[in-house]
Structure 1
Amino acid sequence: MEQFDNIDEYIADLKAKLAKNPSCGNTHYNLGVAYLSRRDFMEAEREFLEAVANSPKMAEGYVQLGGIALQRGDLESCLNYNIRASQERPFFAVPWGNIGFVKLQQGDVDQAHKALKKALKLDHDFLQAKATMTSVFIAMGDYEEADKMLKQVLDQVPEFAPAWNNKAIVDAHFEEWEDAKKCIAKAEEFGFDVDPEFKKEVESK
């Protein structure tokens, strides 16, 4: 791996490579990732589109395009890009996790559950998919399964704020009010905006 002093040098190097070989999907992809690290979403999107145009089977490129679509609130495009990624690489867990996340946002709990089950079958330790699955279990009213999986997530990453929020919801369901209060405090400590109505309800107990 070549060493660069900063991201601008790395970008310049990738652009020089593309000048010699403009149809290299991998170089376009790497340039897209470099732009993402600078939070330059428009340039990143342009490069990922070039990457998949030149390498149509590059599942990671579709996943990145889905992430950019999600960033601007375009759930439908995010879903379509991840479906395409899952078609190109059916055993790649990430697009299935993303499909589950989008389906949950769209209120399709059943499809979210199916996609997340698939993601977790392919990668048992896929943290984001586990965390989303706990929201699916809560939406399905299966608080015991949600609780089990939340303990796994928080053992893995104790500062995972949305998981603390979900744990508070589960504890509140079981009327474990003191535990719910602690979980709300943890969720907020790690940067999660807890629903004010829910917070008020728990604090009144």
Structure 2
Amino acid sequence: MMTETANTLPLHAVIAEQEKICQERPNNIIAHHTLGLLYRQAGRADEAIRELERAIELDGHSVESYINLGAIYFDRGDVARALELNEKALSITPQMAEAHVNIGLIRQQQGDAAAAVECYEKALQIDPQLLTAWLNLTSACTMLEQDDKAEEAARQAVTLEPDSGMAHNNLAVALYFKGKFKEAKQHLDRAKELGYSVDPRFVQGLQAKLGQ
């Protein structure tokens, strides 16, 4: 009879196993970091924060812990703390593309799309294959009415991940603002097929342009 592996166990059981590991190895950075990620996955944010902070306490250069802790604070709406944590990660590892993307997203949420574009472009200089950077660059350029740049970024995202509903949706939006309504409809339909929840207002606006 085969025994269950960690990959087939329910999340609460995996968490219980990881808690035991942390109890047995209280100074193990990876153990606390992993438990923090599991807590976050389970929606237990306070406990996730505690474990990630413990990982950082054990190793002040635990860049991934700073990044993941920042993500929790961002989700909570504490963008100032999220920014601080991502900037700390960059001070340790300046070439961390993910941190540049995260800071860009914060800047974009703060309404500074130009600063966001700079962050996404820095990320792409480090990792040209980073899908989130292309996706976010598309939306930031759209905000700035940089339509050519938005279309280029959106096409790059679709090329990187043809089965990303968000990438096809972003490209549809970019094409809409370029007046390429038929092609926009094609990508919007593909986004729907892939299960992406499209904005009904955008659907209506595009249909109006197509005379439907």
- Which TM bucket (shorter chain)? 0.7 to 0.9
Counterparts of 1:29 and 1:71, CA distance in 2: 18
User: Residues 110-130 of structure 1: CA distance to partner in whole angstroms, max 9, x if unpaired?
Assistant: 211221111111111111011
SS of the equivalent of 2:163 reads coil
Partner in structure 2 of residue 87 of structure 1: 91
Counterparts of 2:24 and 2:206, CA distance in 1: 62
User: Residues 140-174 of structure 1: CA distance to partner in whole angstroms, max 9, x if unpaired?
Assistant: 32222222221221122123233222212222222
- TM-score normalised by the chain length of structure 1: 0.86
Partner in structure 1 of residue 125 of structure 2: 121
User: Residues 63-88 of structure 1: CA distance to partner in whole angstroms, max 9, x if unpaired?
Assistant: 11121122233333222221121112
Unaligned runs of 5+ in 2: none
Q: Is the 8 A contact 1:187 1:194 kept in 2?
A: no
Partner in structure 2 of residue 112 of structure 1: 116
Is 2:144 the counterpart of 1:140? yes
Partner in structure 1 of residue 197 of structure 2: 192
Q: Is the 8 A contact 2:157 2:167 kept in 1?
A: yes
Q: How many residues align?
A: 202
Counterparts of 1:84 and 1:195, CA distance in 2: 39
Q: 1:10 to 1:59 in 2, by over 3 A?
A: same
Question: By how many angstroms is 1:39 displaced?
Answer: 3.5
One-letter amino acid matched to 1:43 = E
The two structures, once aligned, show a CA RMSD in angstroms of: 2.1
Partner in structure 1 of residue 53 of structure 2: 49
- TM-score normalised by the chain length of structure 2: 0.84
Deviates more, 1:144-153 or 1:60-69: 144-153
Q: 1:192 to 1:9 in 2, by over 3 A?
A: closer
Is 2:191 the counterpart of 1:173? no
Is 2:67 the counterpart of 1:75? no
One-letter amino acid matched to 1:191 = Y
Unaligned runs of 5+ in 1: none
Q: 1:55 to 1:187 in 2, by over 3 A?
A: same
Q: 1:50 to 1:204 in 2, by over 3 A?
A: same
Counterparts of 1:16 and 1:54, CA distance in 2: 18
SS of the equivalent of 2:43 reads coil
